[in-house]
Amino acid sequence: MTGPGSFEIRDVDLGGRIGRLYTRRGFIETPAFFPVIDVERQEVPVKGVREAGFTQVITNAYLILKRYGWVAAERGVHEVLGFDGVVMTDSGAYQILEYGRIDVDQETIIKFQQAIGSDIAVILDVPTGDVDRAKAEESVTITLRRAREAIGLIRDDRERVWVLPVQGGRYYDLVEISASEASKLSDYYSMFGVGSPTVFLERYMYDVVVEAVYRARKHLPPGRPVHLFGAGHPLIIPFVVALGVDTFDSASYILYARDGRYITEWGVYRLEDLDYFPCSCPVCSRYTPQDLREMGKVEATRLLALHNLYVISRTIRRVKQAIREGRLWEVLEETGRMHPSTARLLRLMVRYRRLMELGARRGGGRIKGVRAYSIESLDNPKLYTFREKSLKVLLESLKMLMPRELVVKPMTVKKEPSECEKEIVGSRGDVTAALYSPYTGIFPIELCGVYPSIQIDYPSNREPREVVDRLVEEIVELAKHASRLGVKVRLEACKKAEWSVAATLKAYSTLALEDGVEVEVEFKC
C-alpha cells in the first residue's frame, strides 16, 4: 500500500535511510530537503528551485492565510506558489518562535491547510526555542494537548501526511517525554518532527541539536519518517541523517544570500571576502565574486541563493550515495574535519554508536571496503562491532579449546579470501592463531575474509599512535587472559611495518615488565 503517509525504507546505513515517502502527488526520496518558499518574496523562482534538484518545498500556511485569506483555498497552495511538486505547509510555529503568539487557533489553521491542498501538513505546535525549563515544559504540554485535540480533525483525512512535532529543546528529558507521548499517537500521525533547532544551529551549537534528535529518535516509531525543522546547513546534514532524520527544511539558503553570505560544505563565506568561487555549480561556473559584487542587490541575492541551494542539493546526493555504499560514517569523519563545530560533534557521535550499529552494514548489497584514516575511524560501527565481537570470540575460544599455544601475528598486506583459506587450513589443532591489524584489532584466523577483516583500506606504513595504543590494549588483554589459562603466548611482528613493531614491543613491555606475563616475541618478514 502506497497511499499518503506510507514510508518505504529501501536502503540503510547507520541510522540513515534512503526511503520513499508517499504523498498524493507521488513520492519524495529521502533524505530530502524542503527549501522554504515565501509566497510574497521569492528571490529564487520555483523554476530555479526545481533546477537545483528539489521536487518538494515548504511554505507557511499561516502567512498565506493572513495575506490572502480563505480565497487562497479556491486556487490551492500549488497554484499560489506556482509549484507542481510536493508542498509541505507549516502552521505558523516559526512566527510563534519569533513573536510569542499568532492570532489564529488550531482548528482554523488545520482546516485551512486541508482547504488549500497541502500534501504534508503540521499541527499548530508551540516550539520550545532557547527558554527556561518552565516555558519548555509548557511548550511540550501544549503541543501534546493540541496533538490529541487535532485527532478529531485529521482522523479521516487520507489526502495529507500529518506531522506531529516533538518539543523540549535543550532539556533532553523533556524531549524524551515528548517523543514517547507522541509515539502513542502514531495511528493518526504518519510523520514526526523534531522542533526548535534554529536558535542552536545559528550559534553552531550542533551538539544540542544532535542530542535532541537522538533522544527523540529513541522513542519514535522506527518505521515512520522524521523531519527536522530549520536545519539547512551542509555541515549538520550528514550527522542528523546518521541518527535517523529523513527530511529537513530551512530558509538558510535565502537568508544567507540576503546577507551576502555564500554557503560551502565546510562553512560560510562573505561575498566580499571571496576572490574565487570554490564551486562549479551553474552560478559559480558563469560568474566571479567580483561579478556579483558589481551587479544589483536583487540579482546578486538571487544568484547567491541559487548557489546555496545547489550546495545543499549536492550534500544530499553525497549522503545518499554514502548510504548506498555503506560509507556514511566515513562522510561523518570527512565532515568532522571541515569545521571546529563538527570536529567536536564527531567526537560526541560515539555516544550514539548503539543506535547507529543497527544499520551498520554493507550498502546496497555491494561489498565496499571500509576506509580508515585516524582514531575516529575506530568508532565506525562496522569496525567497532567487528573488534568487539572478535575479541570476545577469541577469549571464549581460549576457555573452551584450551590450546597449548596462542600465536598472535600481524596482517600487514590486504589478503584475498583464498589466502585466508590457506592460513586457516595451515593452523594446527593445538594452536589458536589470531591476526591483528591497526583498525580491525585482533580476530581469530577463522574470521579472515569475514567482512570487514580484509575489506578495509588504510594508510600504511605508519599509523597514528592512538590507533596503535588501542591495538596494544587488546593484545595485552588477550595475552593476560591466555596466560591465566596456562596457554603459551607468542607475539609475531613484521619488521617492514612500523605499527606492528611498535605494537609488539609495547605489548611485550607491558606484559613482561608490568604484569609479569611470560610471552615470546618473534620478528618476521
Residue 31 has pLDDT above 60, yes or no: yes
Confidence of residue 422 (pLDDT cuts 50, 70, 90): low
pLDDT at 5: 87
Pairing of strands 370-371, 32-35: unpaired
Residue 504 has pLDDT above 60, yes or no: yes
Mean pLDDT of 398-426: 69
AA identity, residue 233: H
Give the chain's domains with CATH numbers: 7-352 (3.20.20.105), 371-524 (3.40.50)
* CA atoms of 156 and 134, how far apart (whole Å): 35
Instruction: Write the pLDDT tens digit of every residue in 236-291.
Output: 999 999 999 999 999 999 999 999 999 999 889 999 999 999 999 999 999 999 99
Residue 50 has pLDDT above 60, yes or no: yes
Q: 303 vs 257, 264, 283, 310, CA distance in Å?
A: 8, 14, 6, 11
Mean pLDDT of 462-488: 88
> What value does the mean pLDDT of the chain take?
88
Confidence of residue 365 (pLDDT cuts 50, 70, 90): very low
User: What is the set of active-site residues?
Assistant: 90
Residue 166 has pLDDT above 50, yes or no: yes
Confidence of residue 19 (pLDDT cuts 50, 70, 90): very high
Pairing of strands 267-270, 261-264: antiparallel
Pairing of strands 86-90, 56-60: parallel
pLDDT at 428: 57
* CA atoms of 316 and 238, how far apart (whole Å): 8
Confidence of residue 426 (pLDDT cuts 50, 70, 90): very low
Residue 158 has pLDDT above 60, yes or no: yes
Instruction: Write the pLDDT tens digit of every residue in 341-356.
Output: 888 888 888 888 878 8
Q: DSSP string spanning 132-197?
A: -HHHHHHHHHHHHHHHHHTHHHHTT--SSEEEEEE--TT-HHHHHHHHHHHHTTTTT-SEEEE---
Torsion of CA 222, 166, 340, 292, to 10 degrees: 110
Neighbouring residues of 321: CB distance < 8 A, sequence distance ≥ 6:
none
pLDDT at 100: 58
Question: Are 412 and 494 a contacting pair, CB within 8 Å?
Answer: yes
Q: Among 303, 252, 298, which residue's Cα sits nearest to residue 274?
A: 303
Q: 210 vs 79, 207, 214, 240, 333, CA distance in Å?
A: 36, 5, 6, 6, 16
Residue 446 has pLDDT above 50, yes or no: yes
**Which of these ranges, 71-80, 292-301, 351-360, 493-502, has the smallest mean pLDDT?**
351-360
Sheet arrangement for strand 520-524? 441-444, 431-437, 405-410, 488-494, 520-524
Per DSSP, the chain holds a count of helices (H) and strands (E) of 23, 20
Grid coordinates standing for 18?
A: 534512503
Provide the whole-model pTM: 0.89
pLDDT at 419: 63
Residue 487 has pLDDT above 80, yes or no: yes
* CA atoms of 271 and 438, how far apart (whole Å): 44
337 C-beta neighbours (distance < 10 Å), count:
13
pLDDT at 427: 53
Confidence of residue 147 (pLDDT cuts 50, 70, 90): very high
What secondary structure letter does DSSP report for 327?
-
pLDDT at 425: 46
